[in-house]
Chains A and B, each alone.
Chain A
């Protein structure tokens, strides 16, 4: 019998990184929404970023594996859709890590990502806003591809959602 401490659960979940962006954790990305502890186990509520994200199953499996390794017998992962995930939920710490990883963080949009569709995106390498979008769709569902005219580097942006 293991005594489950909720802070330990959150700390452990904070060590699970996004399978597609290994520098940020599922907690920092706002993907883990809630943790419930009861007598016989733990229920983790998570929310998908993009509905078709192929990494979702990996994330679920990683959560189960991590918490089982702590000696928790019953680990359940449930999906929450409401409210839908927003890129505004990405923590400041994660925004800095995304930028250092070469991914321009999404603008904070307060619920309407469209407002920023035509805004200049700053290059994560040189901070110049002299950039252009080369493809609104990228190597994963959550990324768009840009080019920086200033430092002549292609870069990606985590899309606002």
Chain B
């Protein structure tokens, strides 16, 4: 499958949202308190809705139906960042990952709302107000955990140490993305990175956390995946692919 630069980018955006949504859904029934069980389930469903919008536009370009893209694609054809593939970890880990992603989305979507492609612009404008609710929620929790007990602080600092270089992958331009940037269809992700860094470093520091010094992303290619993705897909795709149940899909 050789997608155009735009199709590749849309798939990457959709895959990030979908896999992160799936990871969040794993908290359903397992979150430390009922309110957060509900919150994570909501955030998961929101991300699924956002994935659907990007997959919808991907379908307009390529003809590939969202269900095909999600349930019948092997790991090597996924374009998500490794950040979203990682297992849900402890609750501080999932919360911090969601916070870093929400902060990225808020900045990036504000840029994408000005896309020269009307469909990209309208999807970004649709998603952004919902993401504001996420960011408000996750930034509050990052602060609470960072400044909370010794244990909550230790856990969220550990999550930050592990997730930081994964999060930086979100800002690595994709192969041939420069064509989209030149055509003003997508903003340069590196511009979003400096805004994101300013915001998250300020908030993480105010939350008593030490931000790792490195600015080198751990991974740069969206064709390289962790074994966690393969495991996630095996779980997520099993029913759709099964002969017994998949027929009706």
Partner of A137, one of B43, B48, B122: B43
The 10 closest A-B CB pairs, nearest first, are A52-B49, A51-B49, A137-B42, A82-B122, A137-B39, A135-B35, A84-B126, A81-B122, A52-B45, A52-B46
Number of A-B contacts (CB under 8 A): 69
Residues of B within 8 A of A82 (CB): 118, 121-122, 125-126
Instruction: Judge if A159 is at the interface, Cβ distance under 8 Å.
Output: yes
Chain A 99-117 per-residue mask, 1 if CB under 8 angstroms from chain B, else 0: 0000000000000011001
Instruction: Judge if A63 is at the interface, Cβ distance under 8 Å.
Output: no
Interface size on B, residues (CB 8 A): 27
Interface positions, chain A 128-161, Cβ under 8 Å from B, are 134-139, 141, 145, 159, 161
Instruction: Judge if A50 is at the interface, Cβ distance under 8 Å.
Output: yes
Chain B interface SS verdict (over half): helix
Residues of A within 8 A of B136 (CB): 117, 136
Do B133 and A159 have beta carbons less than 8 Å apart? yes
Chain A 42-57 per-residue mask, 1 if CB under 8 angstroms from chain B, else 0: 0000001011111000
Do A161 and B122 have beta carbons less than 8 Å apart? no
Do B50 and A52 have beta carbons less than 8 Å apart? yes
Chain A interface SS verdict (over half): loop
Instruction: Judge if B129 is at the interface, Cβ distance under 8 Å.
Output: yes
Smallest CB gap from A143: residue in B: B42
Smallest CB gap from B49: residue in A: A52
Q: A112 CB to closest chain B CB, in angstroms?
A: 9
Residues of B within 8 A of A114 (CB): 132
Instruction: Judge if B53 is at the interface, Cβ distance under 8 Å.
Output: yes
Given contacts A134-B35, A136-B136, contact A141 B45 (CB under 8 A): yes
Given contacts A81-B123, A82-B122, A159-B133, contact A52 B48 (CB under 8 A): yes
